[in-house]
Amino acid sequence: MFLFDKQVMGYNKFMNIRKTAFGDLTIVSEIYSFARDFMRKKGNPKQWNNGYPDEEIIISDIKKGVSYVIENNNEIFGVFTFIAGNDPTYEIIQGEWLNNKPYGTIHRIASSNKINGILNYCLDFCKLKIDNIRIDTHKDNLIMQHLLEKNGFIKCGIIVCDDGTPRIAYQKDFSINEKTDLFE
């Protein structure tokens, strides 16, 4: 259990991040459903199609111990997957990673949209685990692209997901404080 101290719209400033439990499955599924609808309304109609991530993926993430929820007073506001170690999807990139140091990958981050800052809480947690983080997003997900760049992530190139769709790949090495764009 990790507590993070930040002010968030009317809620206690402490947010808890913990591993997702099987009892969280309903609310996590609802958050992903909300996120899918939100993306469609904001001009991102192609990411997370056909109910992705579905219950099978969520359960698999829980069993592997890589799914996390962000909560306050037992109310879940966000969910994400964090995997430390090599991600096979990131082995081939049209572009160049910042470095080849060990890294962690954030996948399937979603918010209930009841509070702001879910990505920031996620990043605060993940950089405690490993200071080299990779993440990807769809070309139509302008909101996520903006948030990543606002948080100092660098566009490194294009990767291809298991379903054959391209994603913009980002990386941030929290052990350094420089910002350059390797991919434009």
Q: Percent of the chain scored above 90 by pLDDT?
A: 69
Of 98, 159, 168, the residue nearest 138 (C-alpha): 168
pTM for this structure?
0.88
Which alpha helices (H) appear in 14-167, and where do they start and end? 25-41, 55-64, 118-129, 142-150
Closest CA to 121 of 36, 17, 31, 34: 17
Cα–Cα distance measured from residue 152 to residue 173, given in angstroms and rounded to the nearest whole number: 9
Q: What are phi and psi of 173, to 5 degrees?
A: -100, 105
pLDDT at 43: 83
Query: Residue 1's pLDDT is what?
Result: 52
pLDDT in tens, 126-163: 999 999 999 999 999 999 999 999 999 999 999 999 88
| pLDDT mean over 2-8 | 48
pLDDT of 101 reads 96
Q: Which domains does the chain have, with CATH numbers?
A: 2-85+102-134+145-153 (3.40.630.30)
- Tell me: the pLDDT tens digits for 19-73? 999 999 999 999 999 999 887 888 877 787 788 899 999 999 999 999 999 998 8
Closest by CA to 68, choosing from 13, 107, 117, is 107
